[in-house]
């Protein structure tokens, strides 16, 4: 069915009319809804709603129908998946780990499933497990989940002495005996039955009748697993045996311990490190070879890898023999090579091969940055998630590195900046005005926090804390991943900082790498929670720590560098070495690369084509191209007559130049050619452009002006020299005064009076940090931002007088005046807000209106301007469809030894 309110496909479960008249069945139906609705886990089918409706069926009469609405799953039950026989061990372990995690999540909130069986486990088309049907679930506490008569509560239903509840063949012995002492360990036994069947292709307990089956559960042991899997790893046998112990005290006491053991074994199988009980591991068994695993005719075990003497070799036998011959030849070759290596270099060890590959994007997939790195690689390096625009809609896609196809993640429309949880089971991401999370196996995204800031990267810590960098004066936030807290500032800005971005947790889960953006450079810093202080460890745009003991970071142009780093002392050592890789640098100065905990490096190559375009956006959010020219545009300003645009063009805020775009002829011409130049300002007559520039190797800004008609023929005129962090932001309507924001200590506002010998005077000095000043068209009011309340808000104050007036609510930044001065615009998170202003006979703030979502038009720069016709000039930024692949490098750390870079810790 379709949920018309939220526009999503759902599944509806209906209780047949006859069953609804059965009080017990109805109570079980409602029990399932309440139990399932209380669970939120990527491996548990989500329940959205439950209710009763009058329905007219084909026969005509109207009757009450009880229904449940849950997430729509595509795939098959585990029963159907097992129909051909046992699963390959690696796949069985992957599914089993997810099932165990689901059970552990239910147990954590006091719910026991009590009917775990292949029919109640779903395998999605992406290959993930979903546990269904909590109709027999029992709560470990006495109160029902939500309201209702206590006589029909889940607890009452599950504690009738002597009543056998569950499915024969999968229930625990204590369930089969009708005991009222049922706890979480009953689910562990049922899981053992399911897992036994997954790896062997046969049921653990069965009989000709129900009584025979129940007797087998309580009195007999299943056939030895070695009979079905002669080469079963010893650890597999131990796990299954522990799950199927008759005495609950001998089973796993907690499902999360079971999940840990399963995941560890899965890792060993995938890596080939598993030690089998019969001599040869099962990691190489093919799905097609498992059909004979359960066919032991005489009760004697048989080697499945070769035909018995006198038998005719089957195709499967020949495949296995051929494979083992190839493996044998390979072993001989490796042994010979190792012997030669040992002969000439006795101390040498064989190192993993460095591997480089490209992950091709689909023909219609356009990576969409949304202002942050659009992709992330999972901690184990096996999965990537990226934000892509397909058909005009940006959403998240997941893709295993060993697969060709990507799968969209439902409910992530408008998402950007994905990042993984430490266990790789969840993805955090940014939606318009929100921080959200979604399970890697699917399910509906969940809200973590509402936001008002512009996000610049997130990181998920081991203690379930998420940190978020912001493109604002707020600093780095932290919030609980559970969604039960309010974001608070963890690391505030230091004097001279413009923003703190792209945080990354270090292995201790407490210390933090992040990037401090300043006027002319960006530094990688490390924050110590013990001291509450930060220190600079490199100069770059982004950084990651890898377990080889190195720090990987990107220089201003995206060149990836590596340096030894100790995560305990938080110190680097030695000299940085280039990896010979240049990642693409986004207009917001983010370098497009990520590194998994295992050391896999994923990056977008810098040679890829990009589209950074200037567009006009009307009040309804409709977009019209302003030019066919493209580039990394920053901070566009429209000339007084609306015919030209001055804009910074370069890599982030480094090495950028001022260009002038003639809108009528669509010609883009350079105005400057040296240094780093930012924040162009038009003189009221449109003849001059003022801008701030820094000299190479210094942090101080000089203010220049240059004639637009002179072009590059004449040098720029110096207006203000070496005055620290002051950056000119606006000019008075009469052209006599520049308004500057001080990025140094204090963050105050100043004026530079051009007609009085360029004298400078402070006009707003406070303990807070102010910035982004814009003067009204009549010259009477100054709009600016300040963090005096603890977060950035937009304020007004008279240019001749005192007393601020707060304009924004719930956060605000980037104020811009309408050309007639009757409105003030500002950004609140992803929204562009218009505030009607009346200045006569006194100042009054009237109606506030949300014009459109900035993310909907893909505007990524916090700076924008307003033209004479009231339209907004904005920068949109996205990767071109010609950028067709992401590059992946494995085992790159092995090359560091050759380059002379020792590991850190």
Residues catalogued as catalytic: 115
Q: Compute, in degrees rounded to 10, the torsion defined by CA atoms 804, 809, 814, 815.
A: -50
Contact 438, 411 (CB under 8 A): yes
526 within 8 A of 510, measured Cβ to Cβ: no
Q: Is beta strand 571-572 parallel, antiparallel or unpaired with respect to 559-566?
A: antiparallel
Compute the distance between CA of residue 199 and CA of residue 220 in angstroms, rounded to an integer. 20
Return the HEC string of 435-477: EEEEECCCCCCEEEEECCCCEEEEEECCCCEEEEEECCCCCEE
CA 408 to chain CA centroid, nearest Å: 14
Cβ-proximal residues to 835 (8 Å cutoff; 6+ apart), any chain: 807, 823, 824, 825, 826, 845, 846, 847, 848, 849
Spatial separation of the C-alpha atoms in residues 38 and 26, rounded to whole Å = 19
Burial class (CB in 10 A: 0-12, 13-18, 19+), 742: buried
Q: What is the DSSP letter of 859?
A: B
Structure tokens at 691: 């801008």
Query: Are 700 and 694 within 8 A, CB to CB?
Result: yes
From CA 852, how far away is CA 841, in angstroms rounded?
A: 31
CB-CB contact of 851 with 833 (8 Å): yes
The whole-angstrom separation of Cα 331 and Cα 325 is: 10
CA of residue 454 relative to chain centroid, distance: 16
Q: Measuring CA to CA, which residue among 862, 859, 861, 777 is closest to residue 815?
A: 862
Strand ranges (E), 331-463:
355-360, 366-367, 375-377, 383-390, 393-400, 407-408, 416-420, 426-431, 434-439, 446-450, 455-460
Please answer whether residues 507 and 547 qualify as being in contact, where contact means their C-beta atoms are separated by less than 8 angstroms.
yes
In this structure, are strands 831-838 and 633-638 parallel, antiparallel, or unpaired? unpaired
Distances 36 to 41, 46, 153, 446 between C-alpha atoms, Å: 10, 7, 14, 16
Gap between the Cα atoms of 502 and 419, Å rounded: 11
Q: Is the CB of residue 647 less than 8 Å from the CB of residue 661?
A: yes
Q: What is the sign of the dihedral through the CA atoms of 804, 810, 816 and 821?
A: negative
Q: How far is CA 890 from CA 11, 361, 375, 577, in A?
A: 41, 19, 17, 18
C-alpha torsion angle, residues 223, 227, 230, 235 (rounded to 10): 0
Edge-to-edge order in the sheet of strand 737-742:
726-731, 737-742, 749-753, 759-764
Asked if residue 681 lies in contact with residue 741, where contact means CB atoms within 8 angstroms, the answer is no
Which two tokens mark 107? Answer: 């147990």
Residue 898: which residues within 8 A CB-CB, separation 6 or more?
none
């Amino acid at each position: 069915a379709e949920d018309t309110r939220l526009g999503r496909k759902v599944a509806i479960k209906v209780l047949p009319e006859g069953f609804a008249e059965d009080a017990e069945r109805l109570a079980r139906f409602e029990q399932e809804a309440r139990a399932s609705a209380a669970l939120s886990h990527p491996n548990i089918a989500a329940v959205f709603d439950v209710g009763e409706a009058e329905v007219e069926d084909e026969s005509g009469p109207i009757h009450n129908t009880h229904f449940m609405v849950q997430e729509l799953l595509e795939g098959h039950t585990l029963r159907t998946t097992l129909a051909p026989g046992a699963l390959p061990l690696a796949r069985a372990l992957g599914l089993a780990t997810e099932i165990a995690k689901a059970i552990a999540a239910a147990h954590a909130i006091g719910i026991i499933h009590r009917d775990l069986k292949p029919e109640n486990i779903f395998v999605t088309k992406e290959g993930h497990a979903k546990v269904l049907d909590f109709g027999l679930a029992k709560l470990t506490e006495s109160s029902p989940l939500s309201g209702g008569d206590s006589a029909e509560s889940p607890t009452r239903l599950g504690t009738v002495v002597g009543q056998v509840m569950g499915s024969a063949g999968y229930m625990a012995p204590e369930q089969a005996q009708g005991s009222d002492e049922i706890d979480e360990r009953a689910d562990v036994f049922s899981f053992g039955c399911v897992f036994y069947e997954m790896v062997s292709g046969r049921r653990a307990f069965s009989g000709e009748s129900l009584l025979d089956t129940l007797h087998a559960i309580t009195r007999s042991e299943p056939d030895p697993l070695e009979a079905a899997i002669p080469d079963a790893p010893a650890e597999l046998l131990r796990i299954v045996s522990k799950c199927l112990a008759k005495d609950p005290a001998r089973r796993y006491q907690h499902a999360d311990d079971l999940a840990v053991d399963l995941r560890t074994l899965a890792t060993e199988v995938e890596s080939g490190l598993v030690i089998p009980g019969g001599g040869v591991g099962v990691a190489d068994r093919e799905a097609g070879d498992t059909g004979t695993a359960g066919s032991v005719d005489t009760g004697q075990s048989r080697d499945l890898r070769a035909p018995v003497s006198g038998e005719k070799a089957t195709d499967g036998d020949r495949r296995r023999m051929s494979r083992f011959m190839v493996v044998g030849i390979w072993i001989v070759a490796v042994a010979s090579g190792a012997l030669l290596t040992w002969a000439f270099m006795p101390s040498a060890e064989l190192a993993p091969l460095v591997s480089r590959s490209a992950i091709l994007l689909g023909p219609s997939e356009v990576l969409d940055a949304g202002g942050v790195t659009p992709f992330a690689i999972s901690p184990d390096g096996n999965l990537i998630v990226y934000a892509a625009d397909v058909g005009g809609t940006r959403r998240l896609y997941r893709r295993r590195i060993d697969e060709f196809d990507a799968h969209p993640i439902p409910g992530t429309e408008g998402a950007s900046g994905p990042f993984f949880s430490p266990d790789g089971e969840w993805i955090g991401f940014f939606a318009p005005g929100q921080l959200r999370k979604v399970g890697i196996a699917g399910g509906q995204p969940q809200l973590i926090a509402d936001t008002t800031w512009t996000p610049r990267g997130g990181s998920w810590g081991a203690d379930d804390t998420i940190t978020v960098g912001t493109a604002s004066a707020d600093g780095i936030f932290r919030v609980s991943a559970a969604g039960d807290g309010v974001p608070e500032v963890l690391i505030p800005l230091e004097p001279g900082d413009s923003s703190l971005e792209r945080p990354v947790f270090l292995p201790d889960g407490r210390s933090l790498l992040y990037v401090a953006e300043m006027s002319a450079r960006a530094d990688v810093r490390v924050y110590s929670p013990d001291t509450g202080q930060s220190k600079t460890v490199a100069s770059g745009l982004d950084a990651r720590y890898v377990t080889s003991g190195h720090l990987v970071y990107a220089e201003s142009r995206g060149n990836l560098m590596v340096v030894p780093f100790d995560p305990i002392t938080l110190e680097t050592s030695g000299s940085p070495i280039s990896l010979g890789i240049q990642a693409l640098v986004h207009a917001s100065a983010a370098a497009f690369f990520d590194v998994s905990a295992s050391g896999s490096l994923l990056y977008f190559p810098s040679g890829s084509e990009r589209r950074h375009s200037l567009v006009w956006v009307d009040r309804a959010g409709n977009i019209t191209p302003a030019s066919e020219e493209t580039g990394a545009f920053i901070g566009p300003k429209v000339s007084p007559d609306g015919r030209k645009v001055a804009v910074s063009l370069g890599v982030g805020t480094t090495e950028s130049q001022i260009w002038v775009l003639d809108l009528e002829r669509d010609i883009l011409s350079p105005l400057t050619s040296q240094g780093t130049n930012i924040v162009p300002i038009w003189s009221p007559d449109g003849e001059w452009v003022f801008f701030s520039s820094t000299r190479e190797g210094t942090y101080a800004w000089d203010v220049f002006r240059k004639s637009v008609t002179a072009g590059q023929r004449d040098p720029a005129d110096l207006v203000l020299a070496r005055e620290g962090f002051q950056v000119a932001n606006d000019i008075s309507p009469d052209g006599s005064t520049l308004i500057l924001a001080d990025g140094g200590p204090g963050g105050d506002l100043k004026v530079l009076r051009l007609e009085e010998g360029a004298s400078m005077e402070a006009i707003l000095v406070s303990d807070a940090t102010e910035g982004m000043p814009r003067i009204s068209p009549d010259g009477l009011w100054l709009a600016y931002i300040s963090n005096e309340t603890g977060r950035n808000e937009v304020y007004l104050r008279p240019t001749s007088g005192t007393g601020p007036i707060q304009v924004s609510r719930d956060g605000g930044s980037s104020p811009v005046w309408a050309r007639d001065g009757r409105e003030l615009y500002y950004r609140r998170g992803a929204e562009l807000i218009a505030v009607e202003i009346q200045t006569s006979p006194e100042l009054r703030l009237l109606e506030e209106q949300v014009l459109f979502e900035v993310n909907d038009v893909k505007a990524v720069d916090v700076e924008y301007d307003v033209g004479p016709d009231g339209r907004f000039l904005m920068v949109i930024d996205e990767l071109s469809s010609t950028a067709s692949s992401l590059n992946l490098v494995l085992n790159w750390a092995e090359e560091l030894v050759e380059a002379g870079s020792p590991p850190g810790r």
